[in-house]
Structure 1
Amino acid sequence: MAFNPLRERGIPLDKQVRDWRELNVMPIDPDHSDPYTRCRIITMNGIEVEAIFFGHQLARHCPSVELKQQLARVRYIEAQQQKAVNWLLPGLASVLETTIAYEQVAVDLTAWVARMEPDPYLRQAYEFGVLEDFDHLYRYANLYEMIEHRKAEKIVDALTEVMPGRPTYLHHRDPMDNVREPYDRNSAAPISKLHALTIMSAEQQTMNFYMNVGPTYMEPIARQLYQEIGMVEEEHVTHYESLVDPGESWWEMLLNHEYNECYLYHSFMETESDPKVKSIWELHLNMELEHLRLAAELFKKHDGRDPEQVLAPELPAPVTFEPNKGFLRDLLATQIDYTTLGTGYVQDAHERFQRMQEAVMGGERPPSEQVIEDNQHKSGEEYRLETDGPHPVPSLRLHR
């Protein structure tokens, strides 16, 4: 049945504040929960963090004290939602285990979005990025085996394969080549706007996470690997945020943010296997319906348009976490040797790319390569999880 969040009534804002007991949610069991439940939690944490960050930026550009106060009330609820969502993660999990789950999100969420994206240019952006997150998962899985003596299959549960993608050392590009062309806000499909916000938010949270947890390790190779991949995540946020049309007004951006939260909470409520977690998705959806209503009123008042002019008349098909093994193997076979040039893509190294490689590498072997060699030496072989047999290794032209 069609669900139009603009026509649904949510919980009144003054009824949404929760006390500490209500926020003290029961975390999931890392040994018995569906790995995709953890992926949904990580995704919604990133979405809520983006909602909070965006709300603060909007407030900093808003001259009206009354508007700042209204935004602050909604933002406080978003902050409570973020705490409830993120605190669903188990304290038993190590930082590295959570990292591997973050990369599983990046792989399977981005792959799903790429498969569903109707715009060829935007789809290429997701296909390009996912091969790099796929390689990050492989590097962290080898670090995990080496320093915690455990295998990543316990975390990803064979839903996501672990094998080399586009090698991480090839992800270091001139910053100007990380900027893409934005969608056109007047002609882009509503789902394209939601996709861009979703992946931007997820990658931003991954960047934030690595920025903060990287130096908490004592092992030099762990600190170095988080530092290297953390810099790639900065590139990825640039890559994805540039897809959003900067011509959208603040009020249109707010409207899109709130609609996207409704879309994702509804999606995960429909697909969640854990009843306790599902109840949180349902509660937050009912909160977000009111946030959307308030954003729609601000949009009508300050933008002078009707929300139906820019939003989908009903929610698209639910965002679904599912295996994407065949899709990823096809990309590995056809796009592993891509890099970027300007706002497009090429298959050969170019002068700016080579200059950046020389500047970043400094003649040294990068941590992302060293971690594989170190694990081979310590464990006897590198770690891979290939559930459908070995994948063919295409030739790489970028390093020539």
Structure 2
Amino acid sequence: MITVTTAKVGAPGNPSVGITPFKDAIYRSCSHAPKPSRGCLMVGGVNYRYEIGQLEVTVGQWVAFLNTADPRGVDRRHLYDATESSSMWPKYGQINFSATARSGSHYSVAYPEWADKPYGAANFLRAARFVNSLYNGRLISKRDSNDGRFHYVTYTIELSRQTERGMYELTRPDATRAHNSGFVVPSQNEWIKAAYYDPSGGGTYSYWKYPTNPGVFGDGEQTAPNPTVLNPTTGDVTNAANQPLASYHASGQPAPSWCPGQVQPVDCSTVNPFGLDPSAYASLYQGSLSTVGQAGTRSPWGTLDQGGNAVEWTDTITAAPAGGDSGRVWRRLHGGISNSSAYQMWLSAVGLQPQDNPFFTLTYPWLGIRIGVIGDLKFGQR
């Protein structure tokens, strides 16, 4: 059983805007983009009301899902990798596995400090299976609340073991939404609207540059939010008063970083699953995931951490990039990470990856999930 809180996103029929991936610009439409403008996309418009997770899915929630979906610990659906363990990866290992544990308890949070951090080893198929477990689960309670101008819904759900069908029929590699009501992985437009579209008209064409503040398009990273500073042994944010704030690696500053206090510092800085020498490891793996929500800076709809911390999957299918494997299913991601600079938090930072890239999930510990809700969930209804 888990509890999730969503932010309500209204203003149906809001206008889309034009962006060129990773270019520091925004256009009223692609027809207004400079010529030639290769790859211009219209994004952000959504013509219905929906909800999106206020926070990223946490390690504690993911462990509850693992023990529900795989009570015998056989991992037939490849929901876990050994590189996620604290023994193989002391700094980033979030979840431990015990073959001898009793049924329904094979998976555990590696250290208590990880429970409220974003789950960081997701691929799209893992995200879809988590959503299917929610979709097929039993809605125990539903409560509306307000916080100033923001509106939230808190759900308590008894998770289901059924992960292969529900909102996503995973017998199909290119699965799309099978129902018009229920839990979902947000689409790219749903994600972008929740992060950047300001219904009060702030920003440029009513869109912010960052999920934390309007910023200024075209100024590079000058108006980026402040970077978080983390408690070195717990990952809690220690500078929440320094708003606006996000967990990312600002230029010329240390990345937000921590390692569980139970781990010896030398192990934290040297032990890794890839055999990297300490120098290469220190260069490639700097930023850590911070406690969800503690940065405290809200998007125009009241979500937290859509900028920085973990990059997040959407269910939007896209064409393979030039030179990419067109035989695989590629999906969009968004949000930036604690290990990279501010540009990954831009509105235009519409990344893409194969939905089941094993190299990515094994080596990139900043891959997160944020759930969404479409339609109106009622008791006795999925």
Q: TM-score higher than 0.5 here?
A: no
More contact order relative to length (CA 8 Å, sep ≥ 6): 1
Structure having the larger proportion of residues in strand: 2
- Band the TM-score falls in, shorter-chain normalisation: under 0.3
Structure having the larger proportion of residues in helix: 1
TM-score (norm 2): 0.24
TM-score (norm 1): 0.23
